[in-house]
Structure 1
Amino acid sequence: MSEIVQTLPNMQVDYVVSPEQVADFQRNGHILLKGIASAEEIAAYRPHIQQAVKELNVQSKPLSQRDTYGKAFIQVSNIWETHESVKKFVLAARFAKVAANLLGVENVRIYHDQALFKEPGGGHTPWHQDQIYWPLDTKDTVTLWMPLVDISEEVGSMTFVSGSHHKGYISKLEISDESHKNLAEYIEHHQLPQVSHGAMKAGDATFHYGWTLHSAPGNPTDQMREVMTIIYFADGARVLEPDSNARKNDLRRWLPGLKPGDKAASRLNPLV
């Protein structure tokens, strides 16, 4: 491990989640937890995440020439594989323990990380469920979504549909204009409650289940909305037979060498 990595914060101090917060999360499918990482910790890790995104980003088209998904954000995945400094952040025991506590499980594994940088003028993120992409046989999946900069009310957290995770697989539509239209109609027809947690400080984090319906507004500001996400799943989950091209692609990329029925524990899914 390099000297630079050794000097980065270890984030070993636990973040305590109350039984009431666990109950709220399991009932609603999402929660905002403030100060998961301190301002000093974010200041230490942010330059390393920024540098990794700069090195790994393959998006070169201007916003005006991209489709809806492309306008939503610059997306760089599994930075922990290639950058030791970011690996220390992604595999932090503090974050993993919060994820396990919220899910009510003993241990969790990493599915993958994603930096999601929404550019100034970037578009909205359409309604979707994350778990349509994941060939995992468990409902115990959760995403940590943490801004690396303070974000204002107008950019805000994602918007979640409370309780939607209890419905499981609602639609196989991948993130697109079609998913946004169809799921918006579904939400309206069933009069489902929508919640945004509003402005967030750097180091705050939302957590949401893989089946929780969510979307995000565009970025009307002149500041990049820098967000780091980490996806966790309960240890012991097994690989599902992929029922879509999206899940076939995820099986190859995030669960390499595994086949349906295997324990989801490839070299890319460390126990944290």
Structure 2
Amino acid sequence: MTEPRVRQVTEAEVAAFREHGWVLLRDFVRPTQLAALAAEIRRLMGTNAQRHKDGRGWLSSIWRTYDEPGHESERLWEFATSAEVGRIGARFLRDRPVRFLRDEVYVKMPTEEGGGQPTPWHQDFAYANRDRSEQLNFWIALADIPANGGGMRYLSGSHRAGLLGRSFDGEADDTVTRHPELVDEYPVSPQVALRAGDAYAHHAMSVHGAWANTSDAIRWSYTVVLFDADARYTGVPWAARLAEKMKTIKINDTFEHPLTPIVWPTGNCGQNEI
């Protein structure tokens, strides 16, 4: 049996992304594909996300993470680097060629189990090592998420606010505590229920976080990050887990490397057989 990995997006969704810096894509990942992704992620992490890689002190009260699962799973790699996903990312980034950057699983446990605290407000691009900010995150709900289940939140339009600096230096530190005027200038997105297969797409300059998970269900989400294929390396050090693998890329080089392939207009083409 074959089916597309993801559905196409509409002109209205592209326009909303460009206006607000984010857009909710209902029923984005096709059901059979979603089931395969969720099963593979649970194989890696366990049914309660007991195998995770964060280990970052106070951040463990927010989430359990699994970095680059696509490096360990052919199924996830084929999805994340597919031409289908790449084409959608390119549409949001004004039809530029795009590369795959990374994937990650973010699990938010219920607050009653000692986790699930709100994800602090931040911009993804503050941590980037590239000379241009055209970067897109797909945030995919792997299971149903109730409105109080720790879904994403955005400051709509904040992708136009400029680069606002790094945060996550402590529990009381985030982009909004450093720039409190943001909440007066950019409205907070609504807190909504998500169905399995729904996804958010957001720009790397968009100020965002996540609500607390006050439900009794584990929040499972999978992210795929794409970026402008012409971006050049600025010399900002790689994360330790990637430093050795990516050492061939020098300052001012583009990201010509097997781990950052161009996924549109090339990418893994065709429909996926499940």
Q: Shorter-chain-normalised TM-score: which range?
A: 0.7 to 0.9
1:111 aligns with 2:105: no
- 8 A contact 1:161–1:192 mirrored in 2: yes
How far residue 255 of structure 1 moved from its aligned partner, in angstroms, is 4.2
Structure 2 residue ranges without an equivalent (≥5): 264-274
Q: Which secondary structure state, in structure 1, belongs to the residue aligned with residue 239 of structure 2?
A: helix
* Map of 2:4 onto structure 1: 11
Counterparts of 2:169 and 2:79, CA distance in 1: 27
- TM-aligned CA distance change 1:268 to 1:137, over 3 Å: same
In structure 2, give the amino acid aligned to 1:252.
A
In structure 1, give the amino acid aligned to 2:260.
N
- TM-aligned CA distance change 1:207 to 1:53, over 3 Å: same
* Map of 1:192 onto structure 2: 186
Q: Which secondary structure state, in structure 1, belongs to the residue aligned with residue 262 of structure 2?
A: coil
Identify which of 62, 77, 88 aligns with 1:72: 62
How far residue 171 of structure 1 moved from its aligned partner, in angstroms, is 1.8
How far residue 168 of structure 1 moved from its aligned partner, in angstroms, is 2.4
Q: Count residues with an aligned counterpart.
A: 254
- 8 A contact 1:157–1:196 mirrored in 2: no
- 8 A contact 2:4–2:30 mirrored in 1: no
Identify which of 202, 205, 222 aligns with 2:216: 222
Counterparts of 1:253 and 1:31, CA distance in 2: 35
- TM-aligned CA distance change 1:94 to 1:197, over 3 Å: farther
- 8 A contact 2:150–2:219 mirrored in 1: no
In structure 2, give the amino acid aligned to 1:200.
L
- 8 A contact 2:164–2:175 mirrored in 1: no
* Map of 1:263 onto structure 2: 254
In structure 2, give the amino acid aligned to 1:100.
A
* Map of 1:3 onto structure 2: none
- TM-aligned CA distance change 1:168 to 1:255, over 3 Å: farther
TM-score, with length taken from structure 1: 0.84
- 8 A contact 1:110–1:271 mirrored in 2: yes
Matches within 5 A, 1:15-164: 15-54=7-46, 57-58=52-53, 66-67=57-58, 69-121=59-111, 122-155=116-149, 157-164=151-158
- 8 A contact 1:132–1:169 mirrored in 2: yes
- TM-aligned CA distance change 1:59 to 1:169, over 3 Å: closer
Q: Which secondary structure state, in structure 2, belongs to the residue aligned with residue 155 of structure 1?
A: coil
How far residue 184 of structure 1 moved from its aligned partner, in angstroms, is 6.2
- 8 A contact 1:11–1:92 mirrored in 2: no
Deviates more, 1:168-177 or 1:217-226: 168-177
The answer to which structure has the higher helix fraction is 1
Counterparts of 2:167 and 2:55, CA distance in 1: 26
Structure 1 residue ranges without an equivalent (≥5): 1-6
Cα deviation, 1:37-77, whole Å, max 9, x if unaligned, reads: 1223212221111112248524689xxxx51x221111111
How far residue 252 of structure 1 moved from its aligned partner, in angstroms, is 2.6
TM-score, with length taken from structure 2: 0.83
How far residue 264 of structure 1 moved from its aligned partner, in angstroms, is 1.9
- 8 A contact 2:150–2:213 mirrored in 1: no
Counterparts of 1:160 and 1:255, CA distance in 2: 32
* Map of 2:267 onto structure 1: none
Cα deviation, 1:80-99, whole Å, max 9, x if unaligned, reads: 11111222222232222111
